[in-house]
Amino acid sequence: MARRLEGKVALITGAASGIGRATSLLFAREGAKIVVADRDLAGSEQTVSQVKEEGGDAVAVQVEVTDAGQVEAAIQAAFNKFGRLDVLFNNAGTGERAVSIMDLAEDEWDRVMAVNVKGVFLGIKYGAAAMLKAGITGSIINTASVAGLVGFAGHAAYSASKAGCLHLTKVAALELARSNIRVNAIAPAFTATAMVDELTSASRDPQRARQKLAQVIPLGRLGTPEEIANAALFLASDESSFMTGAVMTLDGGLTAQ
């Protein structure tokens, strides 16, 4: 049976852990060569080691997704190492502690918007340009959140940034459709990653806080990084060839309420 990403090259941001690491491993199993991109170089190198242990091929690059020069360099690294770029997964993101809009610091707003919106914008800008120049019909995937679809009190910056990510996805999809570069988004609910750990660790009882998050979801549990990676695989593969400007919602039924 042919692997679903055979011969493709994928660059994944935020790949030092969580969803990014799970996706790197899955994409490699499906035949892709991986550029593991993250500000945490040591974590990226650990992801690369895991990919190689399973027989895959990957390289680590350090990148701050809010820096245009570093984003462009990371994309160029894909061409330098593997000769092409077929899939760009703008997965890097950041959260915030729960605080009311009135108490939200301006620099915190700026930080979250820079990573979650500007970071996606820069990825699309330079990733699409490189694909167009090389004549590649690629797939760009952005990690948004159900927080971009419905409001979450106490998370104004995060919710606004993920809504911005979703609309960037739609605009980019329209602009790039004639070039056969597809742009789609994934909108997960609470997933068992370091971001959720940070969110619950601020509570006096982190375990109880984690249980309360799970109870919000109709399926009664958090998502897993592997489940989100499976959605990214579909969007990266030719199986989703007629899909662009779409949002895949993986939320255990949260937004169905």
List, by residue number, the catalytic residues: 158
Token duo for residue 91:
């997965």
89 with 232: CB under 8 angstroms? yes
Q: CA distances (Å), 27 to each of 17, 30, 125, in order?
A: 15, 5, 23
Looking at residue 118, the DSSP 8-state letter turns out to be: I
Question: Residue type at 139?
Answer: S
The number of beta carbons lying within 10 Å of the beta carbon of residue 194 is: 13
The number of beta carbons lying within 10 Å of the beta carbon of residue 69 is: 11
Q: In what order do the strands lie in the sheet with 247-250?
A: 58-62, 33-38, 9-13, 87-90, 139-143, 182-188, 247-250
CA distance 147 to 154: 11
Token duo for residue 28:
């490699």
